């Protein structure tokens, strides 16, 4: 069922296609279902009460597979509902399924092509093995679920029985101490291994006649501090020693080379005893060392990890039928009773578990089919496939880049041959038929080839259908029988780009024209999964990368950092979050989060709520503002808009900022850096709502300048209609709603949907970089000025005499020019409600003092005895010295002090206001606020407070924004009345009051509230 990880992937897989479709590309979006493999099998075994392969065979493979088929699409309805609610445009009706004969036939073609290239072979190797599922796993699957577990670690005594060819101080009767963390493998012990260069000791302990052999580095840890050394040697001196096995089930194999000491560099003295127990059937290194030294291999376990009759004579017969992971205690007890247990410990270590069944894996030797990745076919001169894969990987753009250049590249460099066979049932059968008589084989790559051999139609390619199909062997006349294994479902996933189109049997030109894929997206774990198998097959089949661009997302965790768990209910239901906040907010939240940088995301409902607050609501409020005033004014978009050059400063600025956004969105989307897009969108929404609309508000209802009002309407309309196209891939529902309201029936030629419109093209002629710089500087000044007002607790409605602005000495002339511009000073004065703005050309020296101090914590360790001298030199700097040091650090990252080079972290630069000044500093900018308030300013402030109360009364009375009113006031304050009288004309203009009268009755006639400690009553009536 869908979870947040799926929603992340679906969001990415929707945003990118929407964007490129709006750029004019044809982007087919087809949903696909992975139908085969362990997820389905585990579900049906739970439903049917089956427990492993033996139960499946007893139930019947044909009934089992048909049961699997019946539940494959169990959750289709839930998936479709969730994906559509998320806003992902994808074709569910024309989907593909990996279980259809067409898909499976293409997979057979892939296998046959690899077979013909000599890339397929069967090897008897030790593989990660899931005993619960009865099948080997690939190396990358074994790494998907590591857990910290406790296991027994035992040190076992093996008595030397013969010296063989060994040279050195070893004697018959010496006790070899070997170590293992898998006691259950001891019945299959066939050798002991030691590193040839490991320092070995022959040691004794008090009150013990035996002489023990182990690595010198492990002497004290194993035998204690009282142990004494009789003799020393090297690991190679033990080679060839014969010993008595600790269990006697396979004593007869001594004649075949078993129960000898062998050497290999993999055995080190880092832990254990320095001598390693070898069970070739259950260890990769064990099997390799055994094969190199002629040691046989035995496996006393069955396909489900239980001991067989081969160990019937051990532990009183109690081992037979016992699962290997349950046998440790019994075996340790038996060793102890027979005096063979030297030491028994418990260790905590990381251990692999089956990623599907959740049971611990074992390593087991068994025949497995492989694709050659690290090796080449015997007798050929080809390079290993992984070398070409590494070259092709460098043609792919990875986001984040490090995943491809490091994590994935390192995985390819160390890639092993890929185990592709599974001893399972519900999957694509390996299309290989063999003859038991002569050993011949035939690989089938097409359904027609199979039908030609059996002389009948083959409508279904699943195991229970094709396993019964045989034909005479061309070489000996025996029966050709299909091998029992099915393909790993990862093989199907890797073949998806071709198999979904039934390639090469259909759509050959289409598929080949569209390789590599332009874009894919999946989770970080797929560097060893889907990303890898795609590249293996595309390299082998087409000598191309499988994809040009890939976004790798991280894991989505619960808010507490734990894995999301339905049992623990530690995360909010995705359906509830979608219902509560809408898909747009969830999409924007996910695509802005660390998860799209391949980092983990602690999902929080509060983060979605914040997107609503900072993105969705402000955008909707901007539209509401426009639609309210446009409706009130009867405004419609003109056929010939006012040229941009003839519009006001704010209009030209917001259009320029919007075009800068369009440029940046194109750059970031083309680079697939989606995490950089939403922050820029949020920034523009702030520009639009908190600056452009707020600064332009009165232009939409004041009729002093009709041309300016027309320009304001045109500009806001153009900005909104352009912006909804920009955000349509990310916020598809909000963008669609606003588009339909703004353009349907309004603009001729409007499409039926914003998603059928073109993405706005960047218009460089609309960019005014100097204007943007001016406005950015003005906003910085305003921000500092507001902070000063807040710190002095002076409301913005109270006018102040003056704001003084200064730049740090040596700043760019352009910044001084921007501050001197009348338009900038006018904006600053209006925003901060000051009567004047002064710019100090000489810099901030008259406003602040600058000081410097050594950061002892950062620099003392490096400076050592010179620390005090350097600190004194810095504190002695005058103003010019501090400024020079700041400039040096800014330019070169360091400055020389008393012969020492110091960086920016080594010196603390501090700015302090001069006494009696109200000053704020940010970077290069310093502002001073004159807070002296005379009677005239105080009355003006009171008049502004009255206006605010009148506007609130208008809103409470339900008046429309364009309604004119008759205004009645009452107050018990002479100051408040004087303030209104002094600014009556302005007050009436701001409130659209056609008349103003003073009421004779007080609070009894109308509610009163406090304004500057005085009571005020307001009555508004539509005029």
DSSP 8-state class, residue 208 = -
Which residue do the tokens 């080190």 mark? 268
**Sequence-separated (6 or more) residues with CB below 8 Å from residue 293:** 191, 257, 260, 262
**Residue 307: exposure state from Cβ atoms within 10 A (0-12, 13-18, ≥19):** buried
How would you classify the pairing of strands 925-930 and 471-472? Answer: unpaired
- The enclosing H or E element of 773 equals helix 769-792
> Looking at the DSSP assignment, which residues form a beta bridge with residue 364?
127
Contact at 8 Å (CB) between 239 and 261?
A: yes
**3-state class of 1005 per DSSP?**
coil
What pTM was estimated for this model as a whole?
A: 0.82
> 496-505 pLDDT, tens per residue?
999 999 999 9
Q: In whole angstroms, what is the distance from residue 318 CA to residue 307 CA?
A: 10
- Overall residue count recorded for the chain in this entry: 1023
**Sequence-separated (6 or more) residues with CB below 8 Å from residue 504:** 106, 109, 498, 511
Q: In whole angstroms, what is the distance from residue 494 CA to residue 546 CA?
A: 9
Q: Within the chain, what is the greatest distance between any pair of CA atoms?
A: 124
DSSP 8-state class, residue 310 = G
Q: In whole angstroms, what is the distance from residue 583 CA to residue 84 CA?
A: 10
**Residue 604: exposure state from Cβ atoms within 10 A (0-12, 13-18, ≥19):** middle
Residue 342 C-alpha from the chain's centroid: 49
**3-state class of 567 per DSSP?**
coil
Q: How many CB atoms lie within 10 A of CB 501?
A: 20
**Sequence-separated (6 or more) residues with CB below 8 Å from residue 567:** none
Q: In whole angstroms, what is the distance from residue 585 CA to residue 228 CA?
A: 72
Q: In whole angstroms, what is the distance from residue 110 CA to residue 919 CA?
A: 73
Contact at 8 Å (CB) between 928 and 916?
A: no
**Sequence-separated (6 or more) residues with CB below 8 Å from residue 313:** 248, 249
> 300-318 pLDDT, tens per residue?
998 888 999 988 888 778 8
Q: How many CB atoms lie within 10 A of CB 653?
A: 25
Residue (of 487, 486, 476) closest to 441 by Cα position = 476
How many Cα atoms occupy the beta-carbon half-sphere of 134 within 13 Å? 19
How would you classify the pairing of strands 802-807 and 242-243? Answer: unpaired
Q: How many CB atoms lie within 10 A of CB 641?
A: 16
**3-state class of 247 per DSSP?**
coil
Contact at 8 Å (CB) between 545 and 538?
A: yes
Q: At what angle do helices 813-820 and 822-832 cross, to 10 degrees?
A: 60
User: DSSP for 311-334?
Assistant: GTTSGGGTTTT-BGGG-HHHHHHH
Residue 211 C-alpha from the chain's centroid: 57
367 backbone dihedrals φ, ψ, rounded to 5°: -70, 130
**3-state class of 811 per DSSP?**
coil
Contact at 8 Å (CB) between 191 and 260?
A: yes
Annotate 812-872 with three-state secondary structure. Answer: CHHHHHHHHCHHHHHHHHHHHCECCEEEECCCHHHCEEEEEEECHHHHHHHHHHHHHHHHH
E strand spans, 235-361 = 242-243, 260-263, 275-278, 341-352
Contact at 8 Å (CB) between 942 and 979?
A: yes
Percent of the chain whose predicted confidence (pLDDT) is above 90: 63
Residue 1 C-alpha from the chain's centroid: 20
pLDDT at 874: 84
516 backbone dihedrals φ, ψ, rounded to 5°: -70, 165
Q: Extract the residue ranges of the chain whose pLDDT is less than 70.
A: 140, 166-167, 702-704, 808-817, 820, 842, 1003-1007
Q: In whole angstroms, what is the distance from residue 95 CA to residue 28 CA?
A: 11
Residue 451 C-alpha from the chain's centroid: 47
- The enclosing H or E element of 481 equals strand 479-482
**3-state class of 173 per DSSP?**
coil
Q: In whole angstroms, what is the distance from residue 786 CA to residue 805 CA?
A: 13
pLDDT at 702: 67
**Residue 827: exposure state from Cβ atoms within 10 A (0-12, 13-18, ≥19):** buried
Q: How many CB atoms lie within 10 A of CB 917?
A: 13
The pair of three-digit structure tokens given for residue 1022, joined into one six-digit string: 């539509």
Burial readout 615-625 (b: 16 or more C-beta within 10 A, e: otherwise): bbebbeebbeb
Q: In whole angstroms, what is the distance from residue 580 CA to residue 592 CA?
A: 19
Residue (of 593, 531, 728, 549) closest to 4 by Cα position = 593
Residue (of 858, 911, 1023) closest to 957 by Cα position = 1023
How would you classify the pairing of strands 556-557 and 601-602? Answer: parallel
**Residue 881: exposure state from Cβ atoms within 10 A (0-12, 13-18, ≥19):** middle
Contact at 8 Å (CB) between 469 and 454?
A: yes
Q: In whole angstroms, what is the distance from residue 511 CA to residue 719 CA?
A: 41
11 backbone dihedrals φ, ψ, rounded to 5°: -65, -45
The pair of three-digit structure tokens given for residue 491, joined into one six-digit string: 């093989």
**Sequence-separated (6 or more) residues with CB below 8 Å from residue 988:** 967, 994, 995, 996
Which residue do the tokens 């427990």 mark? 51
Contact at 8 Å (CB) between 837 and 803?
A: yes
The pair of three-digit structure tokens given for residue 770, joined into one six-digit string: 């100097």
Residue (of 964, 407, 406) closest to 701 by Cα position = 964
Cis peptide upstream of residue 891 (ω within 30 degrees of 0): no
């Amino acid at each position: 069922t869908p979870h947040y990880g799926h929603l992340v992937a679906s969001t990415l897989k929707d945003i990118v296609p929407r964007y490129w479709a709006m750029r004019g590309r044809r982007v087919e979006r087809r949903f696909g279902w992975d139908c085969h493999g362990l997820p389905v099998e585990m579900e049906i075994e739970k439903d049917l009460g089956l427990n492993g392969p033996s139960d499946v065979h007893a139930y019947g493979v044909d009934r089992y597979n048909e049961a699997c088929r019946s539940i494959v699409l169990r959750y289709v309805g839930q998936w479709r509902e969730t994906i559509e609610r998320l806003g992902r445009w994808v074709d569910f009706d024309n989907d593909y399924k990996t279980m259809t004969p067409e898909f499976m036939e293409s997979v057979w073609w892939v296998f046959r092509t690899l077979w013909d290239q000599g890339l397929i072979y069967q090897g008897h190797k030790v593989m990660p093995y899931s005993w619960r599922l009865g099948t080997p796993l690939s190396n990358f699957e074994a790494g998907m679920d590591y857990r910290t577990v406790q296991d027994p670690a035992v040190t076992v005594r093996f008595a030397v029985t013969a010296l063989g060819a060994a040279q050195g101080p070893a004697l018959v009767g010496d006790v070899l101490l070997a170590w293992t963390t898998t006691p259950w493998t001891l019945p299959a012990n066939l050798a002991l291994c030691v590193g040839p260069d490991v320092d070995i000791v022959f040691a004794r302990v008090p009150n013990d006649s035996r002489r023990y052999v182990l690595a010198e580095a492990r002497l004290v840890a194993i035998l204690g501090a009282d142990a004494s050394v009789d003799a020393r040697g090297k690991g190679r001196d033990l080679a060839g020693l014969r010993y008595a096995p600790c269990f006697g089930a396979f004593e007869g194999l001594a004649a075949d080379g078993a129960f000898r000491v062998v050497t290999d560099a993999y055995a080190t003295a880092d832990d254990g005893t320095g001598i390693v127990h070898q069970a070739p059937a259950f260890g990769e290194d064990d099997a390799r060392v055994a094969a190199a030294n002629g040691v046989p291999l035995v496996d006393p376990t069955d396909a489900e990890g239980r001991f067989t009759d081969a160990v019937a004579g051990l532990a009183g017969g109690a081992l037979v039928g016992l699962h290997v992971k349950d046998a440790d205690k019994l075996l340790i007890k038996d060793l102890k009773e027979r005096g063979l247990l030297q030491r028994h410990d418990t260790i905590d270590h990381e251990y692999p578990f089956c990623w599907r069944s959740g049971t611990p894996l074992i390593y087991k030797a068994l025949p497995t089919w492989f694709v050659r990745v690290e090796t080449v076919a015997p007798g050929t001169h080809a390079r290993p496939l992984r070398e070409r894969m590494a070259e092709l990987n460098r043609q792919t753009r990875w986001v984040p880049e490090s995943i491809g250049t490091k994590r994935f590249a390192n995985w390819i460099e160390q890639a092993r041959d890929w185990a592709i066979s599974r001893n399972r049932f519900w999957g694509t059968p390996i299309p290989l038929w063999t003859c038991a008589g002569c050993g011949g084989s035939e690989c089938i790559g097409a359904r027609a080839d199979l039908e030609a051999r059996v002389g009948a139609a083959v409508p279904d390619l699943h195991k229970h259908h094709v396993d019964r199909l045989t034909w005479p062997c061309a070489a000996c006349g025996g029966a050709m029988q299909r091998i029992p294994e099915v393909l790993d479902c990862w093989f199907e996933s890797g073949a998806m780009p071709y198999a979904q189109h039934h390639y090469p049997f259909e759509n050959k030109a289409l598929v080949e024209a569209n390789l590599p894929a332009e874009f894919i997206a999946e989770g970080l774990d797929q560097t060893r999964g889907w990303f890898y198998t795609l590249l293996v097959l595309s390299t082998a089949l087409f000598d191309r990368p499988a994809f040009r661009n890939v976004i790798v997302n991280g894991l989505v965790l619960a808010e507490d950092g734990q894995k999301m768990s339905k049992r623990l209910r530690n995360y909010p239901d995705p359906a509830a979050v979608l219902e509560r906040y809408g898909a747009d907010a969830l999409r924007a939240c996910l695509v802005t989060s660390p998860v799209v940088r391949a980092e983990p995301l602690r999902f929080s409902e509060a983060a979605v709520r914040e997107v609503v607050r900072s993105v969705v609501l402000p955008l909707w409020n901007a539209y509401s503002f426009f639609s309210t005033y446009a409706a009130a004014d009867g405004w419609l978009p003109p056929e010939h808009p006012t040229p941009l050059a003839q519009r006001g400063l704010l209009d030209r600025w917001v259009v320029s900022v919007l075009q800068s956004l369009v440029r940046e969105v194109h750059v970031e989307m083309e680079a697939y850096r989606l995490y950089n897009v939403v922050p820029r969108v949020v920034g523009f929404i702030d520009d639009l709502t908190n600056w452009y609309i707020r600064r332009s508000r009165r232009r939409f209802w004041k009729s002093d300048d009709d041309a300016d009002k027309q320009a304001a309407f045109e500009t806001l309309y153009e900005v909104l209609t352009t912006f909804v196209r920009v955000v349509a891939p990310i916020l598809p529902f909000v963008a669609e709603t606003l588009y339909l309201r703004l353009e349907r029936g309004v603009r001729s030629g409007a499409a039926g949907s914003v998603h059928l419109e073109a993405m706005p093209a960047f218009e460089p002629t609309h960019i005014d970089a100097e204007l943007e710089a001016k406005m950015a500087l003005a906003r910085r000044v305003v921000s500092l000025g507001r902070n000063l007002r807040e710190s002095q607790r002076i409301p913005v409605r109270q006018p102040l005499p003056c704001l003084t602005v200064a730049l740090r000495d040596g700043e760019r002339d352009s910044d001084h020019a921007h501050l001197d511009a009348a338009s900038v000073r006018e904006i600053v004065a209006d925003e901060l409600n000051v009567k004047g703005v002064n710019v100090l050309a000489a810099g901030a020296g008259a406003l602040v003092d600058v000081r410097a101090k050594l950061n002892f914590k950062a620099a003392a360790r490096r400076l050592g005895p010179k620390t005090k001298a350097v600190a004194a030199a810095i504190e002695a700097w005058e103003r010019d010295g501090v400024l020079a040091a700041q400039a040096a650090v800014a330019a070169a990252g360091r400055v020389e002090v008393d012969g020492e080079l110091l960086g920016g972290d080594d010196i603390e630069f501090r700015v302090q206001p001069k006494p009696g000044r109200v000053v704020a500093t940010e970077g290069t900018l310093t502002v001073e606020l004159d807070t002296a308030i005379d009677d005239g300013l105080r009355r003006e402030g009171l008049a502004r407070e009255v206006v605010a109360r009148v506007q609130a009364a208008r809103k409470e009375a339900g008046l429309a924004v364009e309604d004119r009113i008759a205004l009645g006031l009452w107050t018990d304050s002479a100051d408040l009345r004087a303030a209104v009288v002094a600014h009556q004309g302005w007050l009436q203009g701001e409130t659209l009051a056609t008349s103003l009268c003073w009421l004779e009755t007080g609070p009894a006639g109308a509610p009163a509230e406090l304004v500057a400690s005085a009571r005020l009553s307001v009555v508004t009536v539509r005029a």
